[in-house]
Every structure is written in structure tokens, then in C-alpha cells.
């Protein structure tokens, strides 16, 4: 796999470090130093690339730029509590569970769950998204507010299907497996689902980076595997989406835009 990188000239060292890290993940990074990366530059260079500038490490395409910026989530975290957050009730975060987030994305849900007490393993298979998560976690470890619970987040570079299969074979058990499939199943509500996915440029860029490649991204197999290793499996869905793998949940928490479906495999 190859990836382009634009970087401002003063960040040459950061580029070299990123190039070495991606080489370890079998990605060849081709870099080009640029005097100034701004909105006009991004519009004139619409192809997908990594960017290193004063904002740190980002993914850019079509004039947009995004990063899984955990520091931007601080205000939400400060408002959050075990009572106010539906995800906290669904995952029983008050019991400080061991939790696997098998569909990492930008890690915002995992960040919230770790803040509220869970020990979270964040599993991501795409090397570009993984290094973005590594970068944002390293930045968070320098933040006075976020650093206090970063030790509860472990990043794991793996395909979630393979990783959960390995845990099944090892007989390992966890309290919770959390699933938020990137591409909700196509159903009669396809247009509503698509509209939600287009709300944020972050999601637009993620969809470009992670093109849909069959059933794996729909999470059906993940649900099957998760049911074998977890006391509870929580699936985040758009409010009107069909059930994952056509499995009726044992319990639901309903919000305005999304819901949490719960499965209790161990009864």
C-alpha cells in the first residue's frame, strides 16, 4: 500500500517518524515538503493524502481535512456522567468493565467509555486510521485533562474478525464487546442512513479511506464472534436501521437519532 503525505517544511522530523512507523505497517509513505498548507492548497490538491502542519497529523481529500481530535471532545466529556449517557447504561460503565471496541473509527465512543471507567481495547485494522489514532492518543497523553485516563485505552492494530476469533480460540472472556459498524446494513431506510453519514466531513473522509468491501464492514460476523466471548454485546445503530445480522436484541436503549441494541449471550 502507498500513501502520499504533504508536510510543512518545519515538520520534516515528524514526517520521517511517520514514514518509519507506516513502513512497519507495510505502507510506503511518499512525502513532499510544502511551504504553507492552507485551505486553498487543499482545494488545489484534492487527492487523498496525509497532512502534517500546525494542526498536527490529519487526513485530507477534496479540500477537506480531518483528524480524530480527542482534545475537541473534552467539553462533551466534562458534561458526561454515568446517568446522562445512554452508552454508559448500555455498557454498564459504572462497573468499570473490560471492554473491546471492535469498530474503532475515530475513537470518540471509546474515549467517553474510558473516561467513565471502562478499560478499553480499541481495535483498528486500517494502517492509516491506526496511525491517526496513535497520534491523537499521544497528543491526549500530553493534555492535563485527558492524560489521567489514557492508561485505560489500549490501541490494537488488527482485523477485528481475526482478533475476536483469536480470543474465542484462547477462551478469553470480556465484560463487553462494543460494535458500531461503519456501514449500517442497507435496508428500507437507506436514504436516512446515508444522510446521517454525510453530516460530518469526518465521516465523508472515513468513507473514502475505508471503501465498503463486502460483509466484513457490516459487522454480522463480529456479532457472532462477540457473542462467544462477552457477557454483553452492545451494538450502536441508527434509530431505524435493521438489526445487525437480523438478530433481535435482548434489550434496547432508544435515543432520537440512534439506539443501542444489547445481547446477553451468557443469559
Q: Count H helices and E strands in the chain, helices first.
A: 10, 12
Q: Which residues are annotated as a binding site for S-adenosyl-L-methionine?
A: 124-125, 180
Q: How many CB atoms lie within 10 A of CB 9?
A: 10
Rounded to the nearest 10 degrees, the angle between the axes of helix 190-197 and helix 201-209 is 100
Q: List the binding residues.
A: 124-125, 180
Q: Which one, of 253, 258, 265, lies nearest residue 176 by Cα?
A: 265
Contact 185, 227 (CB under 8 A): no
C-alpha cell at 139: 497528543
**3-class SS letters over 189-228:** CHHHHHHHHCCCHHHHHHHHHCCCCCHHHHCHHHHHHHHH
The sheet carrying 174-179 orders its strands as 153-157, 119-124, 98-101, 174-179, 230-238, 258-263, 251-254
Amino acid at each position: 500500500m502507498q500513501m502520499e503525505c504533504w508536510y510543512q517544511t518545519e515538520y520534516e522530523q515528524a514526517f520521517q517518524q511517520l514514514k518509519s512507523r507506516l513502513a512497519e505497517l507495510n505502507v510506503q509513505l511518499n512525502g513532499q515538503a510544502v511551504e504553507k498548507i492552507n485551505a486553498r492548497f487543499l482545494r488545489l490538491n484534492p487527492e487523498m493524502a496525509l497532512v502534517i502542519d500546525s494542526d498536527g497529523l490529519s487526513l485530507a481529500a477534496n479540500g477537506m481535512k480531518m483528524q480524530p481530535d480527542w482534545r475537541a471532545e473534552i467539553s462533551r466529556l466534562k458534561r458526561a456522567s454515568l446517568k446522562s449517557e445512554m452508552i454508559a447504561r448500555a455498557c454498564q460503565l459504572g462497573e468499570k468493565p473490560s471492554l473491546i471496541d471492535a469498530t474503532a473509527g475515530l475513537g470518540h465512543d471509546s474515549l467517553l467509555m474510558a473516561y467513565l471507567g471502562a478499560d478499553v481495547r480499541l481495535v483498528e485494522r486500517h494502517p492509516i486510521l491506526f496511525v491517526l489514532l496513535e497520534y491523537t492518543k499521544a497528543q491526549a497523553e500530553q493534555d492535563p485533562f485527558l492524560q489521567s485516563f489514557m492508561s485505560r485505552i489500549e490501541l490494537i492494530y488488527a482485523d477485528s474478525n481475526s482478533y475476536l476469533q483469536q480470543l474465542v480460540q484462547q477462551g478469553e472472556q470480556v465484560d463487553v464487546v462494543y460494535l458500531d459498524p461503519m456501514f449500517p446494513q442497507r435496508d428500507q431506510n437507506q436514504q436516512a442512513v446515508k444522510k446521517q453519514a454525510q453530516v460530518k466531513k469526518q465521516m465523508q473522509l472515513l468513507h473514502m479511506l475505508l471503501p465498503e468491501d463486502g460483509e466484513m464492514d457490516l459487522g454480522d460476523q463480529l456479532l457472532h464472534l462477540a457473542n462467544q466471548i462477552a457477557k454483553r454485546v452492545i451494538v450502536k445503530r441508527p434509530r431505524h436501521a435493521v438489526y445487525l445480522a437480523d438478530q433481535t436484541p435482548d434489550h434496547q436503549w432508544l435515543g432520537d437519532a440512534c439506539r443501542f441494541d444489547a445481547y446477553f449471550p451468557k443469559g
